[in-house]
Amino acid sequence: MTSLAMSSFRNDSSVIDNLESSGRSTARRDTTAVMTLLKLSDAYRDYADSNNFSTLCTTGGLQQYINRRAREGDGGVAMTAEDQHAASRTDCHETTFYHLPVNVQLYIFSFLSPFDLCRGARVSRLFYTISCDDVLWRLRLQSDVRLWRTVGSFTNPDMYANLQPNWTEKDIYIKCSPDFNRIRRRDYFVVHQLSSFLRSFIPGPSPKIVMLGPGLESAGSNRIVRKILCDSSIFDVVGFSAGEHTGMGAGITLRLNSHCFDLITLYSNTKYEREQDRNPQRSNRLFVSGKEGKTSYCLTPAARDVIRNGNALIYVVNSSKANEAAFRNDCYKEQFSAAISSLRSSLYFPLLVIAAVPDSSTNKIAAIDVSRMLDLSTVTSPWQVHDVEVDSLFGMTEGMEWLLQQTQRW
């Protein structure tokens, strides 16, 4: 401080002493002391600002005296509006999160990520209560579930909401979230690696995976088979597998990491016939219409035998928003029901639904909506829906690894 400020502070120190000695007599003088000290503090601050001082020297005793008198209150004497405003100024810096209304606390916690909510539950009892609020987690689940790139039979929030009424919204979120499941797999990575190593000593044929679906013939997603065969960074072509005598069932042997499998692709017809025939249902080699003009479909005997001789099924759909109208068509769902009809008689037949889009910039239908449109909750076999970008095959590896793991469990 300058000499002028120091002399002013020395003169004011006598005022503080007099106020402290006289403040013991009446509570009214205590309130007047608070007002005087606030004015002195403001005067020092204004003087420093007017002289462009970079720092302001404030005595600790002065600030402590103001805080102590403000906490003690008015001592039973009515405070004026000016005194109340001064007391609020001293109390404002002591307002904490615990003093906020509950709705404000919930609103603040709504900006936290699910991981931060779980960490915040360990801070205190109040934080635990807010972090486990059902409304907070329900809103989080409704907003995040449409961003999840995968949904499965054991990670379907609709199933747990119906079958587990005692579960909280937080329990359902943690059970179904792909991020939390990824952490669980990482914790058991050594166990999975050891089990895969031991299975490699057990001789057995390569699993047969059958792939079909309207996505294989839809514009935008029909290049997925070509990408699988040509992208050597993910899949290695090992050889070819023979088909049945009917001409169906021939496939290609591929290797993903250390797993070999036969991929059998089923189309409704040849490429030339699909391009020339404007009515694909008239010459469909996979599905036939029901009797007496009914709209239901069933698999042809040849296609049914190929699927039954396989170990797993991949069903490809075009999940772009532009294809949503065709996706909601009844025949779309009926063909899917016919394709998985052979799964109902099998004890264990895993199903992978690939929700394919051309690239990352394409607006797509959420994976949870794909599972609802196909009514996958009625499928008894283990299933998963994975979002896959055809150009980069992003999401394909994770889905295929899950499918191959399922084929080794039986």
253 pairs with which residues across the strands? 239, 262
Give the CA distances from residue 243 to residues 226, 280, 309, in Å, rounded to whole numbers and listed in that order.
20, 24, 11
**Residue 120: other Cβ atoms inside 10 A:** 15
CA dihedral 93, 94, 98, 99 (to 10 degrees): -80
User: What pLDDT, on the 0 to 100 scale, is given for residue 288?
Assistant: 80
Q: Model-level pTM greater than 0.75? A: no
CA-closest candidate to residue 235, choices 387, 399, 384: 399
Distance CA 77, CA 397 (A): 75
User: What pLDDT, on the 0 to 100 scale, is given for residue 309?
Assistant: 86
How many angstroms from the chain centroid is the CA of residue 401? 20
User: What pLDDT, on the 0 to 100 scale, is given for residue 79?
Assistant: 40
User: What pLDDT, on the 0 to 100 scale, is given for residue 176?
Assistant: 94
User: What pLDDT, on the 0 to 100 scale, is given for residue 396?
Assistant: 94
Residue 164 DSSP symbol: -
264 neighbors 306 (Cβ within 8 angstroms)? yes
User: What pLDDT, on the 0 to 100 scale, is given for residue 269?
Assistant: 77
**Residue 154: other Cβ atoms inside 10 A:** 13
User: What pLDDT, on the 0 to 100 scale, is given for residue 298?
Assistant: 85
Identify the burial level of 255 via C-beta atoms within 10 angstroms of its C-beta, where 0-12 means exposed, 13-18 middle and 19 or more buried.
middle
Collect the ranges in the chain with pLDDT lower than 50.
Answer: 1-30, 33-34, 37, 44, 47-48, 52-70, 72-87, 89-90, 293
Tokens (6 digits) for 220: 């935008």
User: What pLDDT, on the 0 to 100 scale, is given for residue 364?
Assistant: 93
How many angstroms from the chain centroid is the CA of residue 329? 29
User: What pLDDT, on the 0 to 100 scale, is given for residue 327?
Assistant: 80
**306-324 as b/e: b if 16+ CB within 10 A:** bbeebbbbbbbbbbbeebe
Tell me which amino acid residue 322 is: A
Distance CA 170, CA 159 (A): 15
Q: In this structure, is the dihedral angle defined by the CA atoms of residues 270, 274, 277 and 282, taken in order, positive or negative?
A: positive
